[in-house]
Amino acid sequence: MSYPRFMLAATASGSGKTLITCGILKLLKDRGMKVSSFKCGPDYIDPMFHAKVLETVSRNLDTFFTEEEMTRYLFARTAQQTDLSVMEGVMGFYDGLGGVDVKASAYDLARVTDTPVILILNAKGMSLSVLAQIRGFLSYRRDSHIRGVILNQMSGMLCKALTPQIEQELGVKVYGYVPPIPDWKLESRHLGLVLPDEVEDLQQQLQRLAAILENSLDVEGLLALAQSAPELSAPCPSDLEQLLSGREAEAVRRAAPEIAVAKDEAFCFLYKDNLRLLEELGARIVPFSPLHDSKVPPGIAGMLLPGGYPELYAKELSDNKSMLGSIKECVDNGVPTLAECGGFMYLHREMENMEKEVFQMAGVIDGRAYHTEKLGRFGYITLTPADEEKSGRSILRGHEFHYFDSTSCGEDYVARKPAGRRSWKCIHAKGNLMAGFPHLYYYSNPEFVLDFLKKCCEGQERNTNQ
C-alpha cells in the first residue's frame, strides 16, 4: 500500500529535531491534513509533544524492540488511517546500539520502512562547511535515504545563496531554513525535555513557530516528498496473528479483565502501543492517579505502574497514605502487577527525591530508591529469567534510563547489553509481582503480555467465585 511519509533526522542531538518536527506537524494540521507521527527509539517525552500538537496519539518505532516485519506492521497500522506520516529521528542519524552500531538508529528505521529522510543541520556559525557535513552523511551509507536538508539557525539570505551549490553538487534538495528564534526553546531536565503541560502558552508558541516555518520552508516540496515514498508491504506478522486469534486470547477477551493503569504527572512514561496490545487482547484499561485519587479502582484484575517522575512528587505521593495502603493491599492480595522504573521506585519502603530527602512509599519492596546523580545502566537491554539464563533465550527487550538506584533491585531476571558483554541481575518476579527498573516494550514479546492477562483473568475468576 501507499503510505505518504518522510523522516526528520539530524546530525546530532540538540540540532532542533523536536522543535522543527512539532512546527511542521502544526502547520500540516492547520492545513486540514490528518497526520500521524512517530518517534524513533525509546523516547517517551517527544511523542507527548507530537500528541499535544496533533491532539491524537503519537507512537514509537524501534528496530531494536521489534523485528523488521513487526516494525513495518506497527507503522502501517497507524499510518493507514491518515493522509501523511512524519517520523522524528533519534540522536544523530546513524547513532544506534552502544554508539558503535547503526542498528536501532534513525537510519535503520528509514531503511526498514523505506522512508525518505530530510536531514536537519544546526548551521549556526557555518556557511559553505555545511556542504562537507551533508556530503559525509550522504556517503557514509549508500542507501542513506537522505533526500533533502533543512538548515537550522540560518538566515534566509545565506540559505538562498547556498541552495544552488547544495542541490547541484550533492544532488539533494534544500527544503528551506529555520531562522534563529532566540526567545523560545524547549527546556530540559534530568530525563530529557520538560513535559508539554509544563510549557507556558505551548499552543500559542507552536502557532507562532508554524507561521515562521510556513514562510521559511518549502512545504509543498515536503508534501511532494511524502507522496514519493515507495509503497510498503506491512502485513501482520504470522506469530502475532496466530496469538491474537488463538484460544487463549479469545478466553481473555471473554473475561475482559480490568487493568488499572497509573497515569498522572508522576507516572506518564507509557508506550501507547503497550496499552494497545493489552486492549487488543481484551483488557479494559482503567486509568487512575496515585497522586490525586485515594484508592486503586475497585474490582480490578491487574495493575500497571509505569515510569515517570515520582521523584519530583515524592512528598505528595508519600502524603497520600490511603493510596499507598490501597496499592500494597492489591499486591498483597495477589493482584498481578507490573511496575517499571518510577513505578518500581514507588513500591519501595522508602524513596529519595532529587534533594535526597527520604519519604515513605508503598512498602511492597523492602528497600530504598536513592538518587545517584548520574545515569545508571543506561540503554537497551535484553531480559531473560535468571533460571533460564543459561539457555541464552531472550524473552523481553527493554530500555533503562534513570538517575536513581535501589538497595533492592531484584535478581529474578538477567539483563544483558546487546552491544557488549555487560550483564546484571534485576527485577523482582515472584508470584503476582514483576517490578524493576527496565522499561518493557510489549510487542517485543506479545506472549509475555498474554501470560500476564491470563493471570489477571485467573485472579478475577477466583474473586468472582468467592
End-to-end CA distance of the chain: 52
Strands 428-430, 433-436: pairing kind = antiparallel
Q: What DSSP character marks residue 389? A: G
- Out of 22, 330, 341, 409, which one is annotated catalytic? 341
The verdict on whether 457 is a catalytic residue reads no
Angle between helices 106-113 and 68-79 (to 10 degrees): 80
Among candidate residues 184, 163, 189, the one with its CA nearest the CA of residue 174? 163
What residues have CB less than 8 Å from 124, skipping those under 6 apart?
Answer: 152, 153, 154, 180
- The H or E element spanning position 81 is none
Other CB atoms within 10 A of residue 30 CB: 13
Q: 274-306 burial by CB neighbour count: b if 16+ within 10 A, else e?
A: bbbbbebbbbeebbbebbebeebbeebbbbbbb
- Cα distances (Å, whole numbers) of residue 398 to 63, 98, 240: 12, 14, 19
- Cα distances (Å, whole numbers) of residue 174 to 164, 217, 265, 454: 9, 9, 40, 53
Q: What DSSP character marks residue 75? A: H
C-alpha of 235 from chain center: 23
What residues have CB less than 8 Å from 462, skipping those under 6 apart?
Answer: none
Residues with catalytic roles: 341
